[in-house]
């Protein structure tokens, strides 16, 4: 696959300007001054953005050259990389397989070497899933740690900007640029690693499970304390989160749903309309449940520092014949739980699937505001794991 072919698959708009420092691409639901923000929709952009989103300004101030914008699922809703308006984004390893979503172009851009880092967004897994299936690192920060100003929302209760890169240290540096902090990786005693069972072990593809077991052995070989853990109520988290997320997404696009619903991709429109069917009382009950869930998961992090799970439970699906609705729910079921919790979570390449040769992501998650612990564990793992291929 040529670089030019990859460029066409990943980028919507190529931006002019020098690239003397590290380069960055930006998901096209994030404003870049002077460039239309399409949000992956043929009918959304009304003109060039007047100002950079806060995260884009922060990258520029840190010396990054913003060189392009990247494709995404329409309105950042979808886990497969499908986009009827601008064309599907194809996986950087195998174009017959999904690129993940909704930050598909961002993951492909860094996997294909088009930029050093890329900014995606993550609501229920939209950054970690494409990072996993394209063999790159995607970091979902603690909810509220990074500004969302200038980013088209999906759900204000769960959205966060997600830096992606080919390695942990580059991703950590990008996150530091967004927060104005120094990247902290360091060395010394590794965090205590909890390997999640129960919900996170059900229905996992055998090849994915084998990569996960190998990752556990890497941590043991590094001298980390590794213990089994259970994440209480994790199986309910996705459904409860959707009872909040869908109504918020429907509210963002209420005028569009009322005035021109036919201009929205049918699958995206169907999910937006689901938000209109959720009674306010159910949303309120979900918010109450989520508060309790966060307290229950906090208790897990009194015993361990980092919880390890697969990023997605299956091998990277083929694009042909994929049921979008069913596949999205299945692919994202392990990422939603950590979005509902609100602490930092990342996907780091764990290895390759023994049957398909596709990348398998390992998801590491920590308590809120403990990105330094999470990144230190991921960096040590990455250096010990060795190259994917």
Q: Could you give the residue numbers annotated as active site?
A: 27, 102, 126
Please report, for residues 68, 162, 177, the alpha-carbon distance to residue 172 in angstroms, rounded to integers and kept in the order given: 21, 11, 9
Q: Where are the alpha helices (DSSP H) in 3-50?
A: 3-10
Contacts of 262 (CB under 8 A, 6+ apart): none
Nearest CA to 90 out of 320, 326, 330 is that of: 320
Nearest CA to 340 out of 242, 249, 196, 271 is that of: 242
Please report, for residues 3, 71, 172, the alpha-carbon distance to residue 64 in angstroms, rounded to integers and kept in the order given: 21, 20, 14
Indicate the DSSP class of residue 76.
G
Q: Are 346 and 139 in contact (CB under 8 A)?
A: yes
∠ CA 19-20-21, nearest 5°, is: 95
Q: Encoding tokens for residue 80? A: 């497969």
Please report, for residues 91, 96, 235, 383, the alpha-carbon distance to residue 320 in angstroms, rounded to integers and kept in the order given: 13, 8, 29, 35
Backbone angles phi, psi at 310, to 5 degrees: -65, 150
Q: Are 241 and 340 in contact (CB under 8 A)?
A: yes
Given strand 11-14, what is the order of strands in its sheet?
11-14, 65-70, 23-27, 117-122, 160-165, 137-140, 345-352, 359-366, 306-310, 193-196, 226-229
CA distance 330 to 346: 18
Q: Find the helix or strand (DSSP H, E) in which 366 lies.
A: strand 359-366
């Amino acid at each position: 696959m040529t670089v030019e072919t990859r460029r066409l698959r990943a980028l919507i708009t190529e931006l002019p300007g020098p690239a003397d420092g590290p380069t960055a691409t930006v998901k096209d639901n994030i404003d870049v001054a002077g460039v239309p923000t399409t949000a992956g929709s043929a009918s959304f952009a009304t003109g060039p953005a007047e100002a950079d989103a806060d995260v884009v300004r922060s990258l520029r101030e840190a010396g990054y050259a913003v060189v392009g914008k990247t494709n995404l699922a329409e309105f950042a809703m979808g886990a497969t990389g499908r986009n009827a308006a601008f064309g599907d984004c194809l996986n950087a390893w195998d174009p017959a397989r999904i690129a993940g979503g909704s930050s598909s172009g961002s993951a492909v851009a860094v996997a294909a070497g088009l930029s050093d880092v890329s900014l995606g967004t993550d609501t229920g897994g939209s950054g970690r899933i494409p990072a996993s299936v394209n063999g790159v690192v995607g970091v979902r920060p603690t909810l509220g740690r990074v500004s969302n100003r200038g980013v088209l929302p999906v759900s204000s209760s769960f959205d966060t900007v997600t830096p992606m890169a080919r390695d942990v240290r580059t991703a950590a540096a990008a996150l530091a640029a967004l927060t104005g902090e120094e990247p902290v990786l360091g060395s010394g005693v590794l965090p205590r690693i909890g390997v999640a069972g129960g919900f996170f072990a059900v229905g996992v593809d055998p090849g994915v499970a084998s990569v996960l077991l190998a990752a556990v052995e890497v941590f043991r070989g590094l001298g980390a304390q590794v213990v089994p853990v259970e994440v209480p109520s994790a199986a309910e988290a996705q459904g409860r989160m959707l009872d909040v997320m869908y109504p918020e997404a429907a509210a963002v696009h209420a005028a569009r749903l009322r005035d021109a619903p036919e201009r929205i991709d049918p699958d995206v429109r169907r999910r937006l309309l689901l938000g209109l069917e959720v009674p306010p009382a159910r949303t309120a009950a979900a918010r109450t449940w989520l508060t309790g869930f966060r307290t229950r998961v906090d208790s897990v992090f009194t015993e361990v520092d980092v919880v390890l799970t697969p990023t997605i439970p299956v091998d990277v699906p083929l694009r042909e014949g994929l049921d979008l609705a069913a596949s999205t729910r299945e692919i994202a079921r392990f990422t939603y739980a950590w979005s509902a919790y609100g602490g930092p979570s990342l996907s780091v390449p764990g290895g390759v699937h023994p049957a398909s040769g596709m990348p398998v992501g390992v998801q590491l998650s920590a308590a809120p505001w403990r990105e330094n612990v999470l990144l230190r564990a991921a960096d040590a793992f990455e250096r010990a794991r060795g190259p994917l291929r």
